[in-house]
Structure 1
Amino acid sequence: MWSSSNSNSSFYSFFLTGIPGLDAAHVWLAILFTCVYMVALAGNCTILFVIGTDPSLHEPMYCFLSMLAITDLGLSLSTMPTVMDVFWANYREISFDACFAQGYFVHSFSFMESSVLLAMAFDRYVAICYPLRYSSILTSARIAKIGLAALCRCLLGVLPSLFLLRRLPFCRSHVLSHSYCLHQDLIKLACADITFNSLYSLVVVILVVVLDPVLIFFSYIMICKTIASIASPSERLKVLNNCLSHILAVLVLYIPMVGLSVVHRFGKHASPLVHILMANIYLLVPPVLNPIIYSIKTKQIRRGVLRLLTPRRIFFP
């Protein structure tokens, strides 16, 4: 499975650990992970179907919500094959190139989710601070450009780190500590100078994990200033309620993302279970909770989901 003659050959493979110490419980974990993945896939597909089939939801806010659902689907599907292999079939080997490709898509989709949440914050800012200009600012063409810019930003931003990591020799070990491939996990196995890799990764993290929340926070400062000028307390509450689902989605993404980054950089002596738990929360929680949050907190989405789930009565003459 592993050879030392040429560590960068595409024929070589890594070994996925799964969850150390819980091998006997892998069947039960497989059931749990399968249920979680099914909830994520069903929830995001439902959001896309409801928005796509209801003409009244073809508005900027729901276009961004569709982008978020597509991103969550990509995040789930990028890890599901290897996770299912590990826990259902106990097949833990993954090829060198497949592992790098998986790591690329995992980080691209997670950064894409951050970019979409930033775009949704801009949408809320325009809707609340400039309601009369909302339709003229967020035109269909501009929404498409925002979506394309977010996609290029993430795909092209992560790509150099893939090439930088791909050129490194991996001769220390071939055992990864998770059930899927992460950049942070792979780079620990390199037996060469990783200073430039670490610096580039840090720059990307700052530009996404740090910059995006700062811009989102700034947008909500402006929103709060506008809300403060509204005389009626009921109107203030209504405006805040319209932002609540987005705020919850932001917390659902960034809390696990920051937690995982902190654990990998500063938790070298922490238990392996802590690393694995944070990695799984980081990838599984946002795709599962985002559809639930928007289905509960957004009246139009909730109405569409109930209409989809409620069987239609058939009357015979």
Structure 2
Amino acid sequence: MSPRPAFASSASDIDRLVAGVRAGERALLARAITLAESKRPDHQRAARTLVQELLPATGKAMRVGITGAPGVGKSTTIDALGSYLTGLGHKVAVLAVDPSSARTGGSILGDKTRMARLSADPNAFIRPSPSAGTLGGVAAKTRETMLICEAAGYDVMLVETVGIGQSETAVADMTDMFLALMLPGAGDELQGIKKGLVELADMIAVNKADGDNLPRARTAAAEYRAALHILSPRSPNWQVPVVTYSAYTGDGLAALWNKVVEHRDTMTKTGELAARRRDQQVKWMWSMVEDRMRTRIASDPALAAELPRIESDVADGRLSPAVAVDQIFASLGW
């Protein structure tokens, strides 16, 4: 017997995937996400139909972005927080945005032993970042995965940014709340603010607030609270809280999640949550337009022959970037 294909893209196949995802069947959920991540043109067309069919069942989940420097304990935090949430009756999906995955051979989430409890939890679903190579490509696939998971009944999305720099902005632009994890006593409290990370945050959480570290965690939290007073808040309706917790012992996780729920309630009552999501949808659309244009440019054989010359002329100062763009679009007939 020949092996069953990972997925197909006929109308009946899409109908079966839609029904399976809506029913919460994990195997069909994984196949639907694989379809959305595929780079084959026919699969991409099928994935667009799939997501459109699932759209009415999306939008009800709490979407939380999580970031933090290496060593801050993101995986341990997500494992502990996710397990706490499934214990409360939630269904949790963990997704990643890692633009470096194509170079490094996979997302940090690929090693599910980092989230031992959650990876074995029937009410949790962990999906590594797709190896799309570019931030825009990874972010677009992660957004589609998020919608598919929501349609499957997952009511909490934990979206981890594994990369650096713009990936943090990308995650902030696809979630309702952006959580920045910090370490106590690392000497980088004010430096973190200078980097602009904290200005994206809807909440700051200082990890490793346990044992001998507890006084240092409280001191770091106080420094962040003081520094936040001189920064413009991301939202006029929300004062960014700073909490301490321990991913190791679980202390403070309940208070942390209560702040997430409070943020959700506040943003919903003021109408800002709906406005933020509308803006995110439009940004997503234009991001996909840009990705489609890049794909079109890269796949044009005539332009492919001309691009090395154009790039060389721009690099050597013989051609201005503006004129080079004119030549590229002229070659495409645009």
> Normalising TM by the smaller chain, what interval?
under 0.3
Question: Which structure features the higher share of helix residues?
Answer: 1
Question: Which structure features the higher share of strand residues?
Answer: 2
- Relative to the length of structure 2, the TM-score reads 0.23
